[in-house]
Structure formats: structure tokens, C-alpha cells
């Protein structure tokens, strides 16, 4: 009973949000918290869509502006590095200025930068504007759940999580279709103008929905430790993002970014030990459950690679799908997923969020195991049935992991104030973005290594003099002879086609290995979940508490 009473008091304090306005603030316009929640959800969705559109539309951008492959690859890297920096640094900003001022200001900067990006006169100008857009939009993620958890009544928290899940997962799936439609019917400019059009709506919601932060008598926290850590993780993120392309430690750029990032992290740790910031409460890192559940964010992001990296890569490289065709093959899954999240939210109330998390990851792993049986004849329609299964798995996993982290945060008392909630939300955002990039780096390197392995293995069985190879070349040459100038040209074309077939088969086998790797990562995390300590709260408790 004592534990339940203590948990109730913590939850009550977390759900009350901002203190009542003083007499001096009575004349200020009233705000509607639900409009504010819509605003922060819009911000998270816009930031997600902006990042996905830039990554998917990079080939169109290169073709339109004449950028080289190497220099264009730094555009999404710069965006994500900047988002990594501000997503962590916003913890300091939130304590110092409050979410209203931060979101309104950064949204204005982001909207202007997005509107100006298509008019950038050169590559350096575009790179600078992309970095500004990343710095401003990186604040959206961390403040979303902070505001939701400190504003919503406790009985509605699970539905706030469902809305957040539908927002992020839905947009992640339809981004390919949107970019493909832009490429086919409009222009590459709309990769950036989409955010410029939607951001003013977010600003209106922030203005009418998030109250002003009352004057604080607490000393303003120091920014230096935040800056060291934010710069450090941003540099490490960039090294991970560009590592495979630049051959990792064979590149001086990667070595410099890694060395500088590690040095700045060490400086942040030294400052934390010598001059601890009193407003930054990191005691939750001592809780085993929080660390294990935070790793579920990495597991979920790794599972998402099945539809973000593996399926689009296969359709593009093997079936030569255009972006619009790839988007249409994946986007329709967002509709059932949007409906499933609300059903899952209801189920979580009467079960347990950890159980839903485990169930969702298991479903996703089973779907990846089914995908691992693909061959070169598969097309977009071949993935549809299993994609529905993955949609259910993603919905369960996302709500389960965020729901579990929220409950654990309530138990640990880290959501009892806006400052503590911002720290906790910043920590989760750091795991989401940095852990996701670690997963992308692992998967990209894994695919490259496995493709080389399968190519070499297949090459051992495709050699001149082997009767199977000679027979296949003879058949291909005969079929190509009518459209060739002679037998030598037909034979040369046959050799080229055979080489393409070997590469296609090697890439297909590597993709199948990627799906298997995703499945084993899920198995490893499910085993790690066995070390979780029993939880003290459930969403049914939150619903019943007055």
C-alpha cells in the first residue's frame, strides 16, 4: 500500500504539468493543452517527414542540382548530426526557457530555412541551410513526450502514446510514396517546401496550446556540459553515417570525427564529475529496468530497417522500382497500422506494456523470417501479406516500448517535474536517434560484406569451361544473336547479363541474411528482457487512480 501511495503521488505530480498562473499572468491569452499536444505531434511528424524526404529524394536532388554522389551524401548526414546535437542540448534549453518559447522560435527558424532551401545558390549554401533546419527541428522530438506526459491526465497517457506512435510510424511508411509523387508530378523543391507549409500550423498550435513558462527563481543551468556532450555525440553520429562510404578507419575524416567525438564525451564526463549540474538528474541511469527498456528503442529501430532499408533496397536494385513504385508498395501498410495502434492501446490497459512489447517484437521477427525466403522473382506484391504482419508488430512494439518507458519513469520519479521529464525524454531521444544510426551502420556494413561473400561463392561455380556456365552462355547468346551485329557481340552481351544475374542473386541472398540478422537481434533482446524486474504500476492503475 505504501508503494502504491508513493506511485500515486508521483503520477499525480507528473500529470499536473505547469503550475497555476499567477495574478500577473491572468491577462495573458488562455491556452488549450490539447491544442498544444497537437502542435508537438505536428512537430515530431514534420521532423520525421523532412528527414525521410531528404534521404529518399537524394538521387532526385543530385540529378537536378548536379551534385556529386559524395558531396550530396553529406546533406542528410548534416541534417541528422544537427538534430542529434539539438535533441540533447534542448534539455538545457527546456530548463532555461520552457517548451513554448523554444518550439515557437525553432519552428519559425525551421520554416524559413525549409522555404529558402530550394533557392540555395550553391552546395555550401544548401549544406548550411540543411544544418540550420536540423538544429531547429531536432528540438521537436525531445519536447513532444515531455509536454504530453506533463499535460495529459494520467488516464489518457496511453492514448497520447498511441497518437505519438501513429504519428511517427505512419509518416515513416508514407514518406516514400510522397517523395515519389513529388518526383513524378511536381519537383524536388517540395522535398523542403512540405515542411515550410506545415510548420506555420504547428506554430499556431504551440501559440494557442502551450502556456508561457512562469519566471523561475532557480539558478540557470550551465550550458557547457550539454554542449560538450551534444557536439561529441553529433560527431560520432556523422562518423557512423559516413563510415561505410569512406571505408571507416582508412579515412582521415572518420578518424578525426571519432577522436574529436570521444574527446568531447570525455570532457563532458569530466565536467559532470567535477562540477555536476544540479538541474540535470541522471539518477534514473542507476535503474536496471530503464537501461534494458531503453535498449528496446534500439531493437525497434533495428527491426524497422526491414521496411526502411531492406525491402526498398531489394525493390530498387533487383526489380528496378522507381521511388513512386517503391512508395506505393510500402505506404498502404500505414493505413492498417494507424488503426491497429488504438486497438493496441486499449489492450495495454488490461494487460501489460512489456508483454505487448515482447509480442510485437516476436511478430516482427516472424515476419522477417518469412521475408528471408525471398528470391529474385519477388516484386512489391510479394511483400504485401507479410507487411500487414509487420505493421501489427510495429504497432505493438512501439506502444509497448514507449508505454513501458513511461511507466518505469513514473516509478523512478523522473517524470515528477518538467525539468526531469525533459532529461528523461532527451535520453530516450538520444537512444532513438543515435541507436538507430548504429543499427543502420551495422546493417549497411553487414549487407556489403554478405554481398561480397555470396558473390565470391557464386563466382566459384560460374567459370569458363564449366558445362553449366557454358550452356547458359550459349542459350543467352542464341537469344541475343538476332539483335547483335555478330556472334562476338552477342557473346559479350551474354557475359554482361550473366554477371548481372550473379550480382542480383548475391544481393538477394545478402538481403535474406539481413532479415535473418534482424530476427536474431530480436531474439537477443527478448532474452535480455528476462532480466527485467517486476513493474509496480500498470495503465489500469493509472486509469483507476483519482
pLDDT of residue 233: 92
Mind listing the pLDDT tens digit for each residue in 371-389? 999 988 888 888 877 888 8
Q: Read off the pLDDT band of 221 (50, 70, 90).
A: low
Task: Please state, in angstroms and rounded to a whole number, the distance separating the CA atoms of residues 450 and 506.
Answer: 8
Residue 451 burial class via C-beta count within 10 angstroms: exposed 0-12, middle 13-18, buried 19 and up: buried
pLDDT of residue 488: 63
Task: Please state, in angstroms and rounded to a whole number, the distance separating the CA atoms of residues 401 and 354.
Answer: 7
Nearest residue to 132 via CA among 203, 196, 197, 55:
196
Contact between residue 240 and residue 437 where contact means Cβ atoms under 8 Å apart: yes
Nearest residue to 332 via CA among 387, 397, 393:
387
Residue with cell 505504501: 2
pLDDT of residue 509: 92
pLDDT of residue 521: 94
**Which top CATH class is 2-14+30-221+278-453+509-544?**
mainly alpha
Torsion of CA 142, 148, 222, 295, to 10 degrees: -50
pLDDT of residue 18: 39
pLDDT of residue 12: 42
Mind listing the pLDDT tens digit for each residue in 152-200? 887 888 888 888 877 777 777 778 778 878 878 888 889 899 999 999 9
pLDDT of residue 281: 73
Mind listing the pLDDT tens digit for each residue in 462-507? 665 554 565 565 665 665 556 666 556 666 666 666 667 778 889 9
Q: Is the dihedral of CA 26, 29, 34, 39 positive or negative?
A: negative
Q: Is the dihedral of CA 467, 473, 474, 475 positive or negative?
A: positive
pLDDT of residue 263: 95
**197-201-206 Cα angle (round to 5):** 140
Q: Is the dihedral of CA 447, 130, 307, 302 positive or negative?
A: positive
Q: Read off the pLDDT band of 515 (50, 70, 90).
A: very high
Cα diameter, the chain: 93
Task: Please state, in angstroms and rounded to a whole number, the distance separating the CA atoms of residues 515 and 499.
Answer: 25
User: Which distant-in-sequence residues (6+ apart) come within 8 Å of 174 by Cβ?
Assistant: 327, 331, 334
Query: Mean pLDDT for the chain?
Result: 81
Residues of the chain with pLDDT > 90, as a percent, come to 23
Task: Please state, in angstroms and rounded to a whole number, the distance separating the CA atoms of residues 506 and 236.
Answer: 31
Mind listing the pLDDT tens digit for each residue in 57-69? 888 888 888 888 8
3-class DSSP state of 444: helix
Task: Please state, in angstroms and rounded to a whole number, the distance separating the CA atoms of residues 286 and 298.
Answer: 19
Per domain, the residue ranges of the chain are 2-14+30-221+278-453+509-544, 228-276, 454-508
Task: Please state, in angstroms and rounded to a whole number, the distance separating the CA atoms of residues 267 and 257.
Answer: 15
Contact between residue 129 and residue 115 where contact means Cβ atoms under 8 Å apart: no
Task: Flag whether the pTM goes above 0.95.
Answer: no
Q: Read off the pLDDT band of 319 (50, 70, 90).
A: confident
**Which range, of 24-38, 200-214, 244-258, averages the lowest pLDDT?**
24-38
Task: Please state, in angstroms and rounded to a whole number, the distance separating the CA atoms of residues 251 and 242.
Answer: 10
Amino acid at each position: 500500500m505504501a508503494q502504491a501511495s508513493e506511485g500515486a503521488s508521483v503520477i499525480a505530480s507528473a500529470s499536473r504539468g505547469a503550475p497555476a498562473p499567477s495574478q500577473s499572468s491572468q491577462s495573458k491569452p488562455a491556452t488549450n493543452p490539447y491544442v498544444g499536444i497537437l502542435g508537438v505531434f505536428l512537430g515530431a511528424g514534420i521532423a520525421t517527414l523532412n528527414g525521410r524526404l531528404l534521404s529518399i529524394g537524394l538521387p532526385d536532388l543530385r540529378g537536378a542540382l548536379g551534385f556529386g554522389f559524395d558531396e550530396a551524401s553529406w546533406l542528410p548526414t548534416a541534417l541528422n548530426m544537427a538534430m542529434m546535437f539539438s535533441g540533447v542540448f534542448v534539455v538545457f534549453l527546456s530548463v532555461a526557457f520552457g517548451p513554448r518559447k523554444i518550439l515557437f522560435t525553432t519552428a519559425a527558424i525551421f520554416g524559413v530555412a525549409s522555404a529558402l532551401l530550394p533557392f540555395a545558390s550553391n552546395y555550401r549554401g544548401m549544406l548550411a541551410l540543411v544544418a540550420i533546419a536540423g538544429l531547429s527541428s531536432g528540438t521537436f522530438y525531445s519536447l513532444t513526450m515531455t509536454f504530453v506526459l506533463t499535460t495529459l491526465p494520467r488516464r489518457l497517457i496511453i492514448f497520447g502514446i498511441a497518437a505519438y506512435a501513429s504519428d511517427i510510424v505512419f509518416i515513416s511508411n508514407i514518406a516514400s510514396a510522397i517523395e515519389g509523387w513529388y518526383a513524378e508530378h511536381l519537383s524536388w523543391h517540395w522535398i523542403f517546401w512540405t515542411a515550410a507549409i506545415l510548420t506555420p500550423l504547428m506554430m499556431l498550435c504551440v501559440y494557442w496550446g502551450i502556456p508561457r513558462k512562469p519566471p523561475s527563481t532557480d539558478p540557470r543551468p550551465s550550458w557547457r556540459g550539454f554542449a560538450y556532450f551534444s557536439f561529441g555525440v553529433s560527431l560520432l553520429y556523422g562518423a557512423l553515417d559516413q563510415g561505410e562510404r569512406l571505408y571507416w578507419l582508412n579515412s582521415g575524416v572518420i578518424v578525426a570525427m571519432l577522436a574529436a567525438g570521444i574527446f568531447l564525451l570525455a570532457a563532458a564526463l569530466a565536467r559532470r564529475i567535477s562540477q555536476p549540474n544540479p538541474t540535470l538528474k541522471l539518477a534514473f541511469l542507476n535503474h536496471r529496468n530503464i537501461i534494458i527498456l531503453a535498449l528496446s528503442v534500439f531493437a525497434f529501430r533495428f527491426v524497422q530497417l526491414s521496411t526502411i532499408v531492406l525491402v526498398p533496397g531489394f525493390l530498387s536494385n533487383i526489380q528496378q522500382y522507381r521511388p513512386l513504385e517503391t512508395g506505393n508498395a510500402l505506404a498502404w501498410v500505414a493505413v492498417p497500422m494507424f488503426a491497429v495502434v488504438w486497438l493496441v492501446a486499449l489492450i495495454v490497459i488490461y494487460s501489460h506494456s512489456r508483454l505487448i512489447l515482447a509480442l510485437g517484437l516476436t511478430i516482427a521477427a516472424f515476419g522477417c523470417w518469412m521475408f528471408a525466403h525471398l528470391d529474385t522473382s519477388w516484386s512489391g506484391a510479394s511483400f504485401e501479406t507479410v507487411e500487414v504482419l509487420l505493421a501489427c508488430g510495429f504497432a505493438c512494439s512501439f506502444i509497448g516500448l514507449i508505454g513501458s518507458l513511461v511507466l518505469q519513469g513514473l516509478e523512478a520519479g523522473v517524470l515528477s517535474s518538467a525539468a526531469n521529464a525533459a532529461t528523461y525524454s532527451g535520453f530516450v531521444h538520444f537512444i532513438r536517434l543515435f541507436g538507430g544510426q548504429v543499427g543502420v551502420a551495422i546493417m549497411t556494413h553487414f549487407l556489403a560484406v554478405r554481398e561480397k561473400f555470396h558473390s565470391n561463392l557464386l563466382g566459384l561455380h560460374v567459370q569458363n569451361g564449366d558445362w553449366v556456365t557454358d550452356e547458359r552462355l550459349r542459350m543467352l547468346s542464341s537469344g541475343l544473336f538476332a539483335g547483335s551485329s555478330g556472334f562476338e557481340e552477342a557473346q559479350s552481351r551474354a557475359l554482361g547479363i550473366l554477371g548481372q544475374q550473379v550480382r542480383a542473386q548475391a544481393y538477394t541472398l545478402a538481403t535474406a541474411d539481413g532479415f535473418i540478422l534482424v530476427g536474431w537481434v530480436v531474439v537477443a533482446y527478448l532474452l535480455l528482457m528476462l532480466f527485467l524486474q517486476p513493474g509496480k504500476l500498470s495503465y489500469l492503475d493509472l486509469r483507476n487512480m483519482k
